[in-house]
Structure 1
Amino acid sequence: MDLEEALTKELSLNQHLSIISDSSRTLTIDQILLPIYQQQFSKKHKHLDDQSAHWGKISVTNLDEKVRFYFLYVGKNDFIDAYYVRNGHVIDHAKSGYLYQGQEKQIVKGSYYIPINIGPESTMDIYIRIEEQIHHDPEFELQLYSPDKWNHKIVNKQLSDLIFQCIFWVILLYNLFLYFNSKEMAYLSYSVYLFFVSLSYLFLSDLLREMVLTSVPWLTPYFMPAICLTHVFYWQFVFNFLDFEKNFPKAYRILKPYMYLNALLAVIIIVYIVFTGEPGLPAVTIRYQVLFNALVVMAFIFLIRKSKLPLVKYYALGTFLLVVFCLIEGITWDPNTSTAYLVKYGVLFEVVVFSIGLTQKRKLNEQEKKDILDREIKELKVKESLSEWQKEELEKIIDNRTEKIEEKNKILKEAIKRAEKAASVKSEFLSVMSHEIRTPMNAVIGMIHLLLAENPKKSQMDNLKTLKFSAENLLILINDILDYSKVEAGKIKLENIPFDLRELTKGIGNAHEIKAADNGISFNILIDHRIPASLKGDPARITQILNNLIGNALKFTPKGEVRLLINFKGKSKGKVKLQFIVEDTGIGISKDKKEMIFESFTQAHTDTSRKFGGTGLGLAITKHLLTLFDSQVYVESELGQGSKFFFTLVLKEEKIMPEIVDIDPEDLTPQLRDKSILIVDDNDINLLMTQQFIKKWGMYCDIVRSGKEALKAIFDHDYDLILLDLQMPEMDGYQTAETIRSLDSDNLKNIPIIAISADTYENVCKKIEKAQIDNFISKPFNPPLLLTMIGQYLIHNKKEKRSQSNN
């Protein structure tokens, strides 16, 4: 066949084509050239099976005396291989088709073309192999083009498409710019709509595959859902552009779910393509989607044709021509050809009209804002005179109320001052009364201890025990009142020092076992073995809380048992959570009295204080102390069935064990014999009582009644320890201790000083530390405790600690 003649007469080359099918898809060009396969070529064209590869053979001739170059359009196939054969030998091989990568093709643009380069007055056989992979419509549609005609058809089209894309993106970016300036959602939704229109057109016009996805052309079908998303964002733009929800509420309720259906269809199509790799069904589905959306748009335009909304005409005009073109394109569209000429010009027309419409919308919005502002200004002017009158009246009312408020504030300030003064007087009174009572109580309790130690008669022993019990109860009442006054004044602060929980409970047990035995009940302490040996917290306040709860349990348990349980509840970040439980088999508490028992000066029953005694402050103090630990106490009880008080504490675990000095007072007397003690106190009774205890323990002692006498005495004699009262006239115990510590003599600087005071440690601890006093014992003191404290400093050489601190 002469190529020039076929080109001039625009003849179809299919009539010169012979075809053979390869069901195995494995035949090569060398096999095809064998006589056995040459005999099978036939010019009778049957339906081409999409499961087979197909070979086409055509002979071409150039009768001119110069070299000719042509472009041969083969047909829309995934893979096209052209083999050029002369005299039975393959002289060249060219690739084309939908799925070959751009770098593999001799002709990148156009996708389905192969080159024909034939010398002068020569003949050549061309064997063309076609095969489908994702499409299912193999075809031979041979058309011959000259270079000029091909350039006009392909290159000019792509240049036109690129210009069209540039227009899209200029308008898109301009609308984004307008959105960021105005925050008008119509501009943003229009920009997104234009993006998907641009992406859809890239797919339809083959620019996406030939210019973007050249190395991965098989990904092209995955962009097919962009057409669905174009419809989604078209409706989103229309909703914003026409203020749909406000102006067309009924249509909005219908079309918004319809918009989401379009989005759902896009998701279904992409999932279908991912799992099947088949674009045929999605292509048909999208065609019907386009048609259906076009019909919906036409119906909507018809419904709103009489609307007085100014923007409706821009929407209807911009959409109508595009819809008509889309209907035509949707009916005739073939996903393999993908020209979409009509859609291109329809979209361009729509873009121009919509852009004008958006400009008009912006003007309308500005005008609306201006009208609203004008109305507000008018309303303000109308109200201005009324506001002036109201202002004057309000000023009068405010002035009147201000005077009343200032008067009430003055009264309130005076009331607060009176309350603060009353609280201060109350706290000071309680403190003074406690101090004044403790001083004679020290003598009373001390004398009782001395008399008990002198082997009295049996009749005297019973009287002395009764006297001792009454004195100790009186001391407990005094301590409760003083502690409660401190709690109310907020003067109690927690310490954070290492302590051994087991040693602490051992001391608590020793303190309560005797009373429990006297009452004929058993007292037990059970500690979880998982609790660390050393903890960090305020052991004094923990002891006070437990003493209050255990003391109450012993007081209200006529028979049976009282138990202290300490359970391990967990450990996290170096902190241990413990649960403390005090339970008894006593008289119990009725349900309606459980909250009352934690109130100040209150007990569960009116006859309780007459029968069992007490101030009713113990549980109130316990409740306040636990608040300082960020905890609270709970109670479970039934009348006649006993009680259970429990609370939790979170304490730090201490790695270093605290030093524990455990001295039995019975063993101290021989070791302390002949030690020399100086007693400083301005109260003759306290001096006499303390002197008798010191002598009883086998030590020497001198007594002085003032700080000045104490300073003179330490220069005249060499004392091993000083017992120093803090409250003295002229020169108190703090001044005396500071003076002793400032002396040049190392012996006097390091002499142990133990303060004895009717005050509590919390009130004097800072002053004691400043005066460098070694330790403190409160009046009335427990003689064995005083003996143990003296032993700690004289037997275990506590002077060494003082020397190290001074250095």
Structure 2
Amino acid sequence: MKLLLILISLFANDINYTDTYYNPELNQDDLFQYASYTNVGKQTLNINEVLISNDLIYTPLKSDNESVGFTSDYYWVRFKLENTSAESKIYYLNTARPVTDFATLYQITNNNIKSFKSGDEIRFEEKQVKHRSTIFKIILPPNSKNQFYLNLKSDGETINIPLNIYNENEFWKYNYNQQLFFGLFYGILLLAGIIYLFFYKSLKEKTFLFYGFYVFSIASLQAALDGLIFQYIFPNGGYFNTKAVLITALFSNLFLLKYCEYFLKIKVEFPLAYKGFRILYFIIAGLFVMVLISPQTMEHAYPLSNLNGLLSLILIIVSLFYIQYKGVKIDRYFSIGIFFLVIGLMGFVMNNLSLLPNNFYVVNSAKFGAGFEVIFLSLSMTNLIKKLRLEKEKSQEFALIKSEEISQLKTYFMSNISHELRTPINAIMGIAELQLNDEQNKETRKQFEIIKNASLSLLSNVNDILDFELIEKNELILKKETFNPETVLSQINNNWKIEAENKGLIYNYTIDNQLPYLISGDTERFLQIINNVVSNAFKYTKEGSIQFKITSKIESNESGVFDIVISDTGIGIDNKILNNIYDSFSQMRLNHKRQFGGIGLGLSIVKHLVKLFNGTINIKSELGVGTQVNIKLPFEIVQIKQHITADATLLNTNNKDLKILIVEDNKMNQMVIRKILQSFNYTNLVIANNGNEGLECLKKESFDIILMDLQMPVMDGYEATKIIRNGDLGELIKSIPIIAVTADAMQKTREYVLEIGMNDYINKPINKATLYEKINLYTCA
């Protein structure tokens, strides 16, 4: 009977349905051009009824992301795929939005019907592909022609019908890029939300509270739309999962209005608009009720909540213009942030309506808009902090109390922020670096260079903030290690050459050939001094040249002095400002309107580091002509000349069979460390996810060296190291070299790991050369 129904269906459907099959291996055009769809209203048809129906009228898909708007109707989409090869082919079909309630794919091959489930109103485990999106795994038998029907149903949300088909490699690459993008996007939102809730705790200013809640609600809304709430919070679907998008959208609308009300002081500056805000609050409350009453009222809540969001934006923009018209100065970053919010939402809505093409930037326009909005609104909040500080400086007693609270908050925050920020930066930079080494495509390399440079900039700002905290507490001290100054200088010089090429600047690097081969000192701080000064030269130079010259003067067999000169043809510095150039946040006093970036701590930190080196720094500058920085740094000589010729990459030639234990809980960091080590031909690697697993590995196998993370679940690196060094696992294991590899860059952490018996300490993001050097140091003895 089933065979008869299928045969009838092939002739019964409308004559417009093409018999052309789409071959993913051969066709250059898109799958949607071979597909059509029909609306069957509220009819719950099964596949056999659809196949034999003469009444269904199919419409060809007109775009690669067709939208049918807000609806609770059932839709059927059909298309055909063929495999002309002698082998089975596996593909992944990415279709309707992650929040589509039900999606069922039927595959008809040789009169055999198979069905596959997806959608966010079934159990997550029931999805054919365990993925947040609506994904189907398609297997095409050899030399086969396959007919597909896709049934879609939602509860009133917009239904989109993209038909994107990938082979396995393409799919996982697409999935990986999305995960990387999501990590950056959600990381920025969560960090911003946490920071401003901290500020609210300290300053008790409601603007910070509502802004923090708004950022979290934006993150929650996007997580609902991306299917992350379904995957990780409500994997069984059900009542709350059904309403997650509307609830988070309404909270986002509410907190945006409350934030703008307090930031713009609507009640005082624009009383009429304040009434409008209150009306919108009541509408939002009513929409919440509609969401909870019944599926029918919730269906109407979707378009109404979108309309209310539009009215909210209009009211905010009108209020913004009216208050400015009154002569009240409004922070420009607030206006820019609202602009990006409007642009992002417009792109999102127009894409849903198929008015814009379906590409990465358009599909994620709401995320880009929200991301830029949060960045600029955060800048406006920074200015608000400054304003509040100036207003409240009149009360010394109050300022003292708040200062103590902020200091305690900052101490707590800084103790955790190093690990939480440097861990994802390590993953991003590690992957970007590895891709740059492997990638040959010029355009792709350019994109990874952007990622790497942005990560370096973010890392530099993080390091400056952490260093400033140490300087304030007088806890920043220098390490003593042996290094080749010419080698480390050439590494950073290559980065600045690329920067000069990108900016169209002339860059001259001159190094004295009499530099000692090995010196003793703090490599990281030596490079930080130079990098910060050269970075400023590039930052403030739009055209012309930058000169970097370093010479050395040997004063005895044990000591000498570096003479470093860095000059530029940039904008120069006014003499009045030059006197205070080393002050913290000095850039805030410059009228550059934030066009040069940075947080204004660089030279303050450089001054302190030079002092720790027992050196001197002198800056000469002329406005409109340029700047010259002269630095003198004493150093201790370990070896004046290189006595033997050796290639650093060959130091461990006979030791490539080292057995290395990596104790690291973060999967991305595991991958990065593994790829770095494998690039040096270290292949005998074992990974443990926490300290306890690491100890179990040591009981079963012998290792030459351990790379130990510190902050891990179950058992951290500190406890695991103490057990090893106490001899609990035996005397042989007790002496294994242990190197801390951690995102915690605090000085106290560095001191503590050495105190409990670790041999050395490496910060994340991991420097390949440093890691290789450390492994050689402790395994070549």
TM over 0.5, yes or no? Answer: no
Larger CA Rg, structure 1 vs 2: 1
TM superposition score category, shorter chain reference: 0.3 to 0.5
> With structure 2 as the length reference, what TM-score do the two structures score?
0.43
The one of the two structures with greater contact order (alpha-carbon pairs below 8 A, sep at least 6) is 2
